[in-house]
Structure formats: C-alpha cells, structure tokens
Amino acid sequence: MKTALITGATDGIGRHTAKLLAANGYRVIIHGRALDRLEATKQEINKDVHTYCADFASLSQVRDFAEQVKRDHPHIDVLINNAGVIGVHHIMPHHMPHAPHATQFMHHTYPRCVQPVKATNRRRV
C-alpha cells in the first residue's frame, strides 16, 4: 500500500485530495491546524488515515511535525505540500507578525526534514 502525506488537508483541495487518494487505496497521512477538523476529515474518509496537528506558522511545530512523521512513517510515496497562508498580514495577532514568513519557510524546510524517509528516487511534481 502506498502512503501519501497531505498538509493542509482539512479543507478545500487538500481535503478533497486526501479523500481521492484514500478511495484509490492509499494510506493517507493528513495534517491540519485544528484537532476537530482533523477528526471530522478522518471520519469522512473512513479508511486508513493518520492525523497530525501542527500550526505551520510556528517553526518549532513544523520541526516537531516532521520528526513525528519520520518516526511513524519511514516510507512516504507522495508528499503534497498544500498548507499555506495568503494575505494574512492584516489579520495576524501582534504577537505573531512572523507567521506568514514562517509558513513560507516551512515549504522549504519541511521537505529537507523528511528527506531521510525517501526510499526511492522517483520524480517530484
């Protein structure tokens, strides 16, 4: 069974992608920021789903997430980086002015964090 990791999988494209992959026989690892939305997505998929909660606006949570995934899933066939932040400067709390930059940084950092789990030299899209 192939394993797919989808970040930002509790809504929109990420959620739909997770459902499609699970329906096509993939073991699905989903990420989201809210536990209740992760659980709802897991229940909706109703297959072999593993959930991880992390706020990618926090670099420490990104690192912890990557370490947990590496520990729990030594082989990942598909990685879909769907989590993101767009146009949030006007709504960010004053104590989190770095959040959009941290989230953008995640997309460059996270693949390097999980690099050791790659078992094949397949193409990246």
* pLDDT given for residue 91 in this prediction: 45
The answer to whether 4 and 28 are in contact (CB under 8 A) is yes
The answer to whether 100 and 92 are in contact (CB under 8 A) is yes
> Which residue carries 């598909």 as its tokens?
78
> Measured between alpha carbons, how far apart are the two ends of the chain, in Å?
20
Fold of the domain spanning 3-117: Rossmann fold (3.40.50)
* pLDDT given for residue 12 in this prediction: 93
**Which tops the pLDDT comparison, 121 or 82?**
82
**pLDDT tens column, 20-75:** 999 999 999 999 999 999 999 999 998 889 999 999 888 889 899 999 999 999 99
**Which tops the pLDDT comparison, 107 or 32?**
32
